[in-house]
Amino acid sequence: QVQLVESGGGLVQAGGSLRLSCAASGSSFSIDAMGWYRQAPGKQRELVASITSGGSTNYIDSVKGRFTISRDNAKNTVTLEMNSLKPEDTAVYYCFLEAGYVYWGQGTQVTVSS
């Protein structure tokens, strides 16, 4: 069993920055990828960014150049640095981990005011 604990998020003005972190713990597992999805009210959950065990990254077009995902393999953590935030980035952000199965964090609210 894998547990994901998220931290960060909150309320910020447009143009500001936030950092989300997610730490994985539990039984021994081999991580294929980690990353973040988000879900805004009335919208489907969408993949924001992911990073593989080899360090390959993927971003949704709307955050490219503004968000940076990084990973500490030794600590099983993934971090999402979010800069130049826009009101449309407002959503609940969910950490995920792929290790033969997809595990989810509990979600953390990010609110960007205009």
Q: Is the backbone of residue 21 left (phi > 0), alpha (psi -120 to 50) or beta?
A: beta
Strands 57-59 and 46-52: antiparallel
How many distinct helices (H) and strands (E) make up the chain? 0, 11
Report pLDDT digits (tens) over 19-72: 999 999 886 678 889 999 999 999 999 999 999 989 999 999 999 999 999 999
Q: What are the residues facing 67 on neighbouring strands?
A: 82
Report pLDDT digits (tens) over 91-114: 999 999 999 899 999 999 999 999
